Amino acid sequence: MPALTIFSAPKPFTNPHIATIQRNAIRSWTKLGPEVAVVLIGQEEGLAEAAAELGVMHLPEVRCNSLGTPLVSSMFEMARQSYPSPLLACINADILVMPDFLAAAQQVASQVADFLIVGQRWDLDVPEELDFSEDPRSAEGGPRSIEGNWETRLRQRMRASGSLHPRGGSDYFIFPRQCFVHMPEFAIGRAGWDNWMIYEARQQGWPTLDATGAIDIVHQAHDYGHLPNGQPHYRLPETAENTRLAGGKRHIFHLIDCDRRIAGGKIGPYPPSWEKFWREAEIFPLVKLHSHWLGQAFFALFHPLRAYRELRTWMKRK
């Protein structure tokens, strides 16, 4: 039985660059070894062929919204049913991972029962198919050279040419299978649902861990040509619907809203700062009192100008 099931809903494999970076990503997941199972979900063009080529499970019958976009809730259900692994990881299909991904998940699982692991990504231009082969000498029991270690090559390139993405949502979510059983009908690939994951974990009282210092993931840069009219996902109507389903803008949480971090294999408190102190004060009614209206009131107290602008926009729509 695998310890971790990684699942994702890739984009169509029709664009050559998108196809290349998705194959790179999926290959990196399979390189984590037999303790990790990989499940690809959806009916996008070329997906079945890619899953067969890469030797991973493909589940096509995902529920979709009226626009044909797969639903996150259906993805989570299908992944939970695919393998009986104690841990699940939903990840974007353009994300490269390394062995620290599994290691950190198992370290956290050995310390707490329910949790959510998220973190920042490194952005990197990757126009070509990556080489995941190992140094032949390592397979023969000899010393492994740095040049032959795909993980070391990737880390060197990441540090030399990549950049750490600002704290926002997250491109991956690691959690035990008993968490996030009930979810709103979010559309995958649109903004909002990833922020809700952090909000939901906090208001459930689960340790919500920023693993940026423990897990390095690499986002392979791409354009938005696969989306309607080439628009960024946060400008699409489905993003507005995701925000509504999340419970509104106050439930759009970010990485600063984590309450723990993992460092050196141990769970510890989130690093203190004045920014963190005031943010915790602002979201206190949401995560501790479970009061949406008090959350709105605290937001207005901390951000009066933004609250006024939101109110004026709401009144105009009415």
pLDDT digits (tens, 9 = 90+) for 261-296: 999 999 999 999 999 999 999 999 999 999 999 999
The pTM of this model reads: 0.92
* 283 lies in the same domain as 163: no
* 53 lies in the same domain as 67: yes
Q: Reply yes or no on whether the pLDDT at 138 is more than 50.
A: no
* 178 lies in the same domain as 219: yes
The dihedrals phi and psi of 168, each to the nearest 5 degrees, come to -145, -115
Point out which residues pair with 269 in neighbouring strands. Answer: 260
Least confident interval from 127-131, 134-138, 188-192, 215-219: 134-138
Dihedral (C-alpha) 184, 6, 249, 206: value to the nearest 10 degrees? 90
Least confident interval from 14-28, 129-143, 147-161: 129-143
DSSP state of 86: S
* 34 lies in the same domain as 157: yes
Calculate the average pLDDT of the chain: 91
Mean pLDDT of 183-203: 95
Query: What order do you get walking across the sheet with 116-118 strand by strand?
Result: 57-59, 36-41, 4-8, 87-91, 172-176, 116-118, 208-210, 260-263, 266-269
* 164 lies in the same domain as 304: no
Residues 225, 83: Cα–Cα separation, whole Å: 33
Q: Reply yes or no on whether the pLDDT at 227 is more than 90.
A: no
* 293 lies in the same domain as 160: no
pLDDT on residue 178: 97
pLDDT on residue 135: 56
Q: Reply yes or no on whether the pLDDT at 298 is more than 70.
A: yes
pLDDT on residue 223: 62
pLDDT on residue 243: 95
Which CATH number characterizes residue 255's domain? Answer: 3.90.550.10
pLDDT on residue 136: 45
Q: What percent of the chain has pLDDT over 90?
A: 82
* 205 lies in the same domain as 300: no
Answer with the one of 229, 250, 269 that is the final residue of a domain.
269
* 196 lies in the same domain as 228: yes
At 211, list the tokens.
């693993």
pLDDT digits (tens, 9 = 90+) for 35-53: 999 999 999 999 999 999 9
Q: Reply yes or no on whether the pLDDT at 229 is more than 60.
A: no
Instruction: Tell me the three state secondary structure of residue 70.
Output: strand
* 106 lies in the same domain as 221: yes
Number of CB atoms found within 10 A of residue 297's CB: 13
Q: Reply yes or no on whether the pLDDT at 230 is more than 60.
A: no
Question: Who contacts 95 (Cβ-Cβ below 8 Å, separation ≥6)?
Answer: 25, 121, 171, 172, 217, 218, 219, 220
* 219 lies in the same domain as 81: yes
* 199 lies in the same domain as 301: no
* 233 lies in the same domain as 305: no
Q: Is 263 exposed, middle or buried (0-12, 13-18, 19+ CB in 10 A)?
A: middle
What is the number of structural domains in the chain?
A: 2
Instruction: Name the residue range of residue 119's domain.
Output: 4-269
